[in-house]
Structure 1
Amino acid sequence: MRAKKSEDKKNKRSLEASGFYSDFEKPDCLYAALVRSPAASGKIKDVTISSLPDGYYLYTHKNIPAAKSIQINKTTTKIFGYDRISYQGEPIGILFGPDEQEVQKLLSQVSVSFDIESLESALHNVINSKKKPTTNSTLNENDSKNNHNDAEVSDFVDLINDMPSLNDVLDKSRIEKAPTVEVASRIVKYGIYEKLSPEEADKKLFSEANENGTSRTISESSWQENFVIPKWQETEGAACYTDGEEIHIYVPSCWTYLTQTTIADVLGIAQNKIFIHKTKAAEIYRTGLSRTSQLAAQVAVASYLSKKPVKLVLSQREQEEYMGPGVITKFKYKTAVEPSGQIFAMRVDIDIDIGISNPFAQEITDRITLAATSYYKPQNLYVSTKTHTSKTPPTSVSIRSIDSQAFFAIENEMQKISSQTNVFPDELRLVNSIQNKKQSKISPFPFDIPIADVTDTIKTVIQKSDFNRKYASFQMEAADRVERSNKAFFALPLRGIGVATAYVPSEYNGKSFFYYDSKIEVTLTTDDKLIIHTIKPSSVVQEIWKNTAAEILQIEKNNIIIDSEFDIEELPETPEDSYSSIGVLNELLKKCCIDIQKKRFHQPLPISSKRGVQPSQRKKWNKDTFTGVPFSTTSFITTIVEVELDTYTYNEKIKGVWVCADCGEVFDEAAAKKTLRLEIQQELAMLVKGKSVSCDFIDITFTSSNNKSGQVGGLIHNSLPAAFSSALSLALTTQLTEIPCTEDLLFKLTKKRTKQENQGDRE
């Protein structure tokens, strides 16, 4: 019996994260560094080092015991690069030993040999680019044959000395032969765009005169939000050791199933010999998906073959260059607006660069497309999203911030429209949150975002911040400054205020690689202990669950246990943080507890109850037409930021941040406010490169609604950057089109504005 229990325990895997992998310590632990390709393309022949001291190792793809690559959603990822190189910096080996500094020294001695085809191509490119034409002054017909040979040798020596680096010329033809490939796309048409071609519709819609003879405002803008990796976060990596036939890996994985199966395939061993110890992952731009599993496999190969503990910690430079969060997304908006502020037509062209690969390209494409118009309902809409590859490192996806770039773009577009039409920002948002009645009778808007009435949330924070008075005052001050002086800066600080709205969705109903199939199992045991079996949430949510269950079943909170251990055969196949929001899981927990309460006095204990998301919910979204209700529920936020810009140092200072959120039923308001306050402080460190913006005042308010409880996390990230850039744009009287900004960018924008004013004065 004991043997069976021990065997059962060995087949269990915990999905609870604890500690940090970088704190891993074992006697005789070896420190690792990745060998990376020095070239962007070419065919690798070998990776070698002239001599390795005792106790140091170098492994490449040739040393991998079994599978040398993994397949994720039809995307192939090599554990170590081999054959054709995909991008500069691709990992092609791992070097490790007992001294970390010595490992770094040895790293520079590693030799990467390329196939002769690549070298001939490189030499051919050099000779073609460097060869000088022969002239009469160079070679005289009367020169002797020896002199002619000496000249040739001298020229060849000069040619060799003048050669550029191999990386500059290596296999250039192959880079040209590997253009970007479109891997995903999504097009949304509404209104006139459903009947005419985009070009014909544009010609008809974007004319300044409307049917009533009054003029429309036409706005054209481009927007981009770049992700900044916080310096305080632990960089990616993994630690590993072997214990007999077993192998233990400490890694900040958010996808235990993938990490487990990847290592099993790469090492060619049974899954029950592999133990994944989940460590804490980054809270901002959390990844922990395919790239983390690749890192874990690289370290596992090193430890498994050497039979030594091995730890790999990426440097900050490696983290920024090769493990950047999200994708590079560029938005181009063209908008026609009626004098009332109603958006008559909106065209959005979105370009997404996923690097050399991304297994989640279609998911990213669809989610960004959905968020590109937020909750606004233009009378005519065309959205074209195209996702392509490039010769840059592969990208991943942070499920929690997958659509934040789109909110940055649309909210800045709304702010620009407000300044052009002189419609107050809050009024502009409210008038466009409701579909035109006449058009709604003809055709419903394609997206029905489940958001409660936004009016209360917007008006509450507008009043608390005194937004409209400040906005009008700062706008008049900026206009007066432009009219009276060509100098953009005075001794007094420049002031601005901006507003942005956004939502955070839960339970995407569309076709998705991350199947959002939230499940929960609750068991009441014979000794009146309640076991909740699901992925363990944050400590705050755990308390909410315990309070909910204790109230329904009338048991002590101390008797409630949240169990996150799963049998190997039952590990969730999707990433852990793709599982539902607090609201959805809390509803499932309530149903389980009510079911147990009904049975507990009629059936012997133990009693179990299982619940999951109803399939009918997903039927509300038509994946073929890309229309309907895309999410189960949402949280909504309005954020206002007031800024002050020093006219001498270009230093930004935030005078205040006002937030009003509608998260449905808030189970613990104090904890929710604490979460938002922490997110604000974290976000302030990512608005300007190289520094954290100071903030004098933060005010947080919640409004109640009949919505299901929604996510609190992510609301600030989806709204604060746009509010900040809008405020700075007002202060500078010129549009800030990308985040994060720099002092140099602010200086250039100011000079550009001054130049425009000077030209206007001359005219």
Structure 2
Amino acid sequence: MPAKKNTADKKISKTVKKDIPQLYSPLLKTYFSDLTSANMIYTKIVRSPITKGRIKSLTLEDIPEGYFLFTAADFGEENYVETLDIQTEILASSEIYYKGQPIALLAGPVFTDLLDLEKNIKMEFEKDPASKIKEKEYPYAQRFIRNGKAQKPEEFTKLFSKKNYDIKGTWTSVLNAPSCNEANGAFCTFDKNILTISTPTQWPKHLQENIKRIFNLKTEEVFIRKTISSGPHTNTIWQNTVIAVMASLVAIKTGKTAQLVLSREEHFEYLIKKSPISIKIRSAVKKDGIIEAVQVLIELDSGYHNPFAAEILDRLVIAANNIYSVRNIEIIAKAYESYTPPVSFNIECIDSQAFFAIENQMQKICNVTGFLPDELRMKNFERKFSLPFTFTNEKVREAFSAIEKMYDVNRKFISYRMESKNRKIDIKNLHNFPLRGIGVACGFNGIGYFGSNIFACNQKMEATLESDGTLEIHALQPSASTLEVWKNTAAQILEIDPKQIKLNSIFDINEDLSVPENVYANVSVMTYLLKKCCQDIQSKRFRKPLPITSTKGFTSAQKKVWNKEKFSGSPFFLSSFGAVVLELEINPYTYKIYIKNVKAVLNAGKIGIPKIAENSVKLSIQHALTELVVDENLHCDQISVSFVQSDNDPTQIDGLISRILPAAFTSALSQATGHEINTIPVKPQHFFKEMISNENSVYSK
């Protein structure tokens, strides 16, 4: 489908300038949108105005000199980005799968002129009717497990008999945190046969390989300068490559510097917008509090395909039973395609939505059966029979014991539950006292997933003890606090001054950085590998001449603890555990929510610098609170954080709070209002209207 356009097609030469350093620049400490050039042109994505159909024609007549229109034809047969063996069209060649799908690129020296030119593009489509979800009988990805004596559907059904409590819950969560980072995009030049891409890529290898294939370039002809990154959502990981390819096409075809910056609306709608995940849970609970069976159905909309959907489902399934030992488990997880943009997920904390569901279900079981939160959890923790997944969750009992002793959870839980029941009986006294509630939730943070198709546990650490006694750590730039932990760890093992330790974050472009940056720089894994490097160097330093280099990664024996084919075993290299108690009040006149206190007890191995760790957790709590209620920023002045004493290797604290706190909040809110809050973020008008209607019904009698 040719388009009328004024394009300066340029043949890509294969001459290599040998004095260009063949390096991947790990961090250009600026934003790509701040970069400028004398011959720079702006690039704008033209998007489909229809949801489903076919492009019949796309033309733009009388294009001013210096302005360009590019379509799928300009990419030829390489009009796709490949991610995990899944091909995604860069510009739609014919079929349209969602409203807003890129169909063309406009480029020129004045951005406002591009907006006017876009209005003059003549588009003709053949529309098809589109339902929201594609054929539900054929999920885009799915996972099914059944464990226990009940292996047939009818056997499972019998477990939900009248002699047991049959407790059902449906839990829906989607946390679209506001993005204050720079909108995604790229700044590209093609000069003297070298393509230079400045972009906030989190997956440089993915970008490099796709650029080389699409434009038939060699490794030494592609120079990637990584600028300051936005958040670690899966769509920003792989769709950044799509955007960078678009800008690269403009730079190569025109010979000018091309800048493509998404608008704030585009960045949210097409890169970081999330979709609700619905989780239905049915629990068969015996009179003594033992959970005999659990059925879980997980459904998510992945949009117009998502390369990460299979692993997202796997992580949700692994987390769906949390730390509990249930004899009979059935979990079904399905991801569906829809006629919407590819939905974003943060792969590193996607399991928080499973914890939200299972922990609210545990609170519901407490309400129905009368058991206390810690009592019910301990009854169903670490029972002796075969389970599909095993975790390293040491000192869980100690954590719950510490919570009860320090925070008097049981007394408050009983007291607030009685208050809630009394309000339903005598609602005329609603305004006499604040509505109070307390919620308990727990969860783990699995680090280094062995079943990943995406990252395959390829993290590596390299350290060199130089001839002058200094230690060079070769790794991507971590946070300042992490670098401090690394220096202290290495200094203690090698018995040197932390000031003698330096970081080298420059990588040859041929080096294997095949995993995305946010996983490569995983704090716990990389700290563990650094420790192994230093121990290796220390064992050799008095027997071999300096310099000594040590490189460490996962061993094959470590990876074998997880059986990927059978989907069973120990899925994570390390795991940390946490429990949170949240207490709140609701003003009986304004219905405003006030967080009285948040208490967290975490087990994350040996804590290197406790004060830094404590402050980090407190910041995480404050941040998590801002995402829980629509159009409200909750805040808490009374936060307490404690760590279970452990001599084990340190594990990751970051991410634990975001996994646990939402369930503690909704559990407390449900108790305070007397109504089940099963969706996050919470819309205050929902429980407000219900409570007001209950109150009015009493006063109208």
Q: TM-score, normalised by structure 2?
A: 0.91
Quick one: distance in 1 between partners of 2:443 and 2:309?
Answer: 23
User: Do the aligned residues in 2 keep the contact of 1:658 with 1:698 (CA within 8 Å)?
Assistant: yes
Quick one: distance in 2 between partners of 1:250 and 1:174?
Answer: 39
User: Do the aligned residues in 1 keep the contact of 2:133 with 2:336 (CA within 8 Å)?
Assistant: no
Quick one: distance in 2 between partners of 1:738 and 1:725?
Answer: 8
Quick one: distance in 2 between partners of 1:21 and 1:422?
Answer: 57
- Residue of structure 2 equivalent to 1:361: 309
- Residue of structure 1 equivalent to 2:161: 207
- Residue of structure 2 equivalent to 1:466: 408
SS where residue 471 of structure 1 aligns? helix
RMSD: 2.7
1:38 CA displacement: 0.7
Aligned length: 685
Alignment pair present for 1:495 and 2:436: yes
User: Do the aligned residues in 2 keep the contact of 1:510 with 1:630 (CA within 8 Å)?
Assistant: yes
Q: 1:266 pairs with 214, 219, 231, which one?
A: 214
Instruction: Encode CA deviations 1:487-522: one digit per residue, 9 max, x unaligned.
Output: 8x5264322221111111111122533211222222
- Residue of structure 2 equivalent to 1:693: 634
Q: From the two aligned structures, give the one with the greater helix fraction.
A: 1
Instruction: Encode CA deviations 1:523-578: one digit per residue, 9 max, x unaligned.
Output: 22223332222333222121121122222223333332222322222232121222
Alignment pair present for 1:705 and 2:640: no
Q: Flag the 1:231–1:273 CA change in 2: closer, same or farther, 3 A.
A: same
- Residue of structure 2 equivalent to 1:449: 391
The one-letter amino acid paired with 1:461 is I
The one-letter amino acid paired with 1:663 is A
- Which is further off, 325-334 or 249-258? 325-334
The one-letter amino acid paired with 2:145 is V
SS where residue 76 of structure 1 aligns? strand
The one-letter amino acid paired with 1:32 is T
1:103 CA displacement: 3.0
Q: Flag the 1:173–1:362 CA change in 2: closer, same or farther, 3 A.
A: closer
Q: 2:670 pairs with 711, 729, 748, which one?
A: 729
- Residue of structure 2 equivalent to 1:81: 92
Quick one: distance in 2 between partners of 1:446 and 1:300?
Answer: 47
Q: Flag the 1:656–1:283 CA change in 2: closer, same or farther, 3 A.
A: farther
User: Do the aligned residues in 1 keep the contact of 2:52 with 2:130 (CA within 8 Å)?
Assistant: no
Matches within 5 A, 1:376-391: 376-391=324-339
- Which is further off, 14-23 or 396-405? 14-23
- Which is further off, 695-704 or 314-323? 314-323
User: Do the aligned residues in 2 keep the contact of 1:360 with 1:396 (CA within 8 Å)?
Assistant: no
- Residue of structure 1 equivalent to 2:596: 655
User: Do the aligned residues in 2 keep the contact of 1:65 with 1:268 (CA within 8 Å)?
Assistant: no
Quick one: distance in 2 between partners of 1:564 and 1:9?
Answer: 19
Gaps of 5+ in 2: 1-16
Quick one: distance in 1 between partners of 2:617 and 2:59?
Answer: 51
- Residue of structure 2 equivalent to 1:128: none
Alignment pair present for 1:186 and 2:139: no
- Residue of structure 2 equivalent to 1:514: 455
SS where residue 641 of structure 2 aligns? strand
Alignment pair present for 1:317 and 2:274: no
User: Do the aligned residues in 1 keep the contact of 2:81 with 2:241 (CA within 8 Å)?
Assistant: no
Identical columns (%): 35
Quick one: distance in 2 between partners of 1:474 and 1:251?
Answer: 52
Matches within 5 A, 1:539-618: 539-579=480-520, 581-618=522-559
Q: TM-score, normalised by structure 1?
A: 0.84
Q: 2:118 pairs with 107, 116, 120, which one?
A: 107
- Residue of structure 2 equivalent to 1:393: 341
SS where residue 671 of structure 1 aligns? helix
SS where residue 321 of structure 1 aligns? helix
SS where residue 341 of structure 2 aligns? coil
- Residue of structure 2 equivalent to 1:743: 684
Quick one: distance in 2 between partners of 1:640 and 1:313?
Answer: 43
User: Do the aligned residues in 1 keep the contact of 2:233 with 2:344 (CA within 8 Å)?
Assistant: no
1:71 CA displacement: 2.0
- Residue of structure 2 equivalent to 1:25: 36
Matches within 5 A, 1:613-692: 613-692=554-633
- Residue of structure 1 equivalent to 2:464: 523
Alignment pair present for 1:57 and 2:68: yes
1:325 CA displacement: 4.8
Instruction: Encode CA deviations 1:599-654: one digit per residue, 9 max, x unaligned.
Output: 22332222212222121122112222222111111111111222222344443221
Quick one: distance in 2 between partners of 1:28 and 1:492?
Answer: 68
Instruction: Encode CA deviations 1:337-362: one digit per residue, 9 max, x unaligned.
Output: 12332211111111122111111222
User: Do the aligned residues in 2 keep the contact of 1:673 with 1:700 (CA within 8 Å)?
Assistant: yes
1:228 CA displacement: 0.9
Instruction: Encode CA deviations 1:338-394: one digit per residue, 9 max, x unaligned.
Output: 233221111111112211111122211111100001111112211111222121111
Bigger Cα Rg: 1
User: Do the aligned residues in 1 keep the contact of 2:440 with 2:664 (CA within 8 Å)?
Assistant: yes
Quick one: distance in 2 between partners of 1:173 and 1:717?
Answer: 36
1:11 CA displacement: 1.5
SS where residue 616 of structure 1 aligns? helix
- Residue of structure 2 equivalent to 1:234: 182
Instruction: Encode CA deviations 1:657-688: one digit per residue, 9 max, x unaligned.
Output: 11111110111222222222222222222112
SS where residue 593 of structure 1 aligns? helix
User: Do the aligned residues in 2 keep the contact of 1:70 with 1:262 (CA within 8 Å)?
Assistant: yes
Quick one: distance in 2 between partners of 1:177 and 1:691?
Answer: 35
- Residue of structure 2 equivalent to 1:137: none
The one-letter amino acid paired with 1:249 is I
Matches within 5 A, 1:27-426: 27-64=38-75, 67-114=78-125, 118=126, 170-172=127-129, 181-194=138-151, 197-198=152-153, 200-209=154-163, 216-283=164-231, 285=233, 287-325=235-273, 328-426=276-374
Quick one: distance in 1 between partners of 2:342 and 2:263?
Answer: 18
Q: Flag the 1:219–1:754 CA change in 2: closer, same or farther, 3 A.
A: farther
Q: Flag the 1:485–1:177 CA change in 2: closer, same or farther, 3 A.
A: closer
The one-letter amino acid paired with 1:740 is P
SS where residue 570 of structure 1 aligns? coil
Q: Flag the 1:476–1:186 CA change in 2: closer, same or farther, 3 A.
A: same
